[in-house]
């Protein structure tokens, strides 16, 4: 039985993806801050599950918690890092920026490194990071959020290159969602909003096919293309 850990499994995309992986026969490690929600989710899953608390605002502790989960499960085939935070921050309050950087950059980075090194030791594995379409450009409403997602995408690309250069059987997938119907969907002018269930289904297909980069839902690849070619003198006028 393949073994997967989903970081951020208590709600949203992480929860739905944990359910989808379980239906595919994975043993699933469910990790998040809100353990009661994980225990409730565990009751919905009929394959082997493990529950563990993790808090990405404390990266060094999160590293130990994730390692303990890997040890408890007896190995790892797949890690999905779905935890993240976002804040509209017009006034650039440092505490909001700091929280975003702590979770989306430091917390993500320490877990991605753990997963990669675990897979390197075991000879195979698959790392999936849930970044965002926001990785493709800056945001005046939430500058740290977009910057943190750009960090995630570039870090995942670096690990993918590292696996190739070292001839390692490690797949690395960068998932870039557009709007998904979760509290993380910032802004007042949302469109093409997907349900967490639909997002999870498309992410599962990307995992199965070992995609390198995938936009969720697929139509967001059109927005990604436009963002890549849009001159900044136009982009800076877009709210």
pLDDT bin (cut points 50, 70, 90) of residue 234 is: confident
Measured between alpha carbons, how far is 77 from 147 in angstroms, rounded to an integer?
29
The answer on pLDDT for 23 being more than 90 is yes
Q: Among candidates 6, 40, 15, 22, which has minimal Cα distance to 200?
A: 15
- Are 86 and 17 in contact, with CB atoms under 8 Å apart? no
In this prediction the pTM is 0.92
pLDDT of residue 147: 96
Higher pLDDT, 30 or 46: 30
Token pair for residue 133? Answer: 């379409």
Higher pLDDT, 220 or 3: 3
pLDDT of residue 182: 74
pLDDT of residue 233: 75
170-177: strand order across its sheet: 49-53, 27-32, 3-7, 78-81, 125-130, 170-177, 213-216
Chain-centroid distance, C-alpha 81: 4
pLDDT of residue 184: 60
The Cα angle at residue 214 between residues 13 and 229, in degrees rounded to 5: 125
The answer on pLDDT for 226 being more than 60 is yes
Which of the residues 26, 90, 145, 155 is marked catalytic? 145
Give the phi and the psi of residue 29 in degrees, each rounded to 5.
Answer: -90, 120
Token pair for residue 124? Answer: 């195979």
Q: Among candidates 135, 107, 138, 96, which has minimal Cα distance to 213?
A: 135
| Residue position matching structure tokens 């993500």 | 108
The answer on pLDDT for 135 being more than 60 is yes
Q: What is the mean pLDDT of the chain?
A: 92
Measured between alpha carbons, how far is 30 from 28 in angstroms, rounded to an integer?
6
Radius of gyration of the chain (CA): 17
pLDDT of residue 68: 98
pLDDT of residue 220: 84
Domains and CATH numbers, the chain: 3-235 (3.40.50.720)
Q: For 160-211, what is each residue's pLDDT tens digit?
A: 999 999 999 999 999 999 888 876 655 556 767 889 999 999 999 999 999 9
pLDDT of residue 5: 98
pLDDT of residue 91: 92
Chain-centroid distance, C-alpha 88: 20
Any residues with CB less than 8 A from the CB of 216 and at least 6 apart, and which?
175, 176, 177, 178, 180, 194, 199, 202, 203
Q: Which residues are paired to 130 by β-bridges?
A: 175
Q: For 88-128, what is each residue's pLDDT tens digit?
A: 899 999 999 999 999 999 999 999 999 999 999 999 999 99
- Are 73 and 103 in contact, with CB atoms under 8 Å apart? no
pLDDT of residue 94: 93
Give the phi and the psi of residue 47 in degrees, each rounded to 5.
Answer: -95, 180
The Cα angle at residue 68 between residues 26 and 155, in degrees rounded to 5: 75
Residue 145 appears among annotated catalytic residues: yes
Q: For 35-59, what is each residue's pLDDT tens digit?
A: 999 999 999 998 999 999 999 999 9
Any residues with CB less than 8 A from the CB of 12 and at least 6 apart, and which?
82, 180, 182, 183, 184, 196
pLDDT of residue 187: 57
């Amino acid at each position: 039985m393949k073994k997967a850990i989903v970081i951020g499994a208590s709600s949203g995309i992480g929860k739905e993806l944990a359910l989808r992986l379980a239906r595919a026969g994975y043993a699933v490690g469910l990790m998040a801050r809100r353990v009661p929600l994980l225990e409730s989710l565990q009751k919905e899953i009929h394959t082997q599950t493990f529950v563990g608390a993790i808090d990405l605002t404390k990266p060094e502790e999160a590293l130990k918690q994730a390692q303990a989960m890997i040890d408890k499960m007896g190995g790892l085939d797949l890690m999905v890092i779905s935890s993240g935070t976002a804040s509209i921050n017009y006034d650039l309050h440092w505490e909001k920026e700091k929280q975003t950087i702590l979770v989306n950059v430091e917390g993500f980075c320490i877990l991605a490194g753990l997963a990669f090194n675990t897979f390197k030791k075991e000879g195979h594995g698959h790392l999936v990071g849930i970044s965002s379409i926001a990785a493709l450009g800056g945001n005046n409403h939430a500058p740290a959020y977009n910057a943190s997602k750009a960090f995630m995408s570039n870090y995942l690309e670096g690990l993918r290159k590292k696996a190739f250069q070292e001839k390692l059987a490690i797949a690395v997938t960068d998932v870039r969602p557009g709007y998904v119907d979760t509290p993380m969907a910032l802004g007042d002018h949302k469109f093409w909003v997907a349900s967490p269930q639909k997002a999870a289904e498309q992410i599962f297909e990307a995992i199965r096919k070992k995609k390198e980069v995938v936009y969720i839902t697929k139509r967001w690849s059109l927005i990604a293309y436009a963002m890549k070619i849009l001159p900044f003198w136009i982009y800076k006028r877009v709210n």
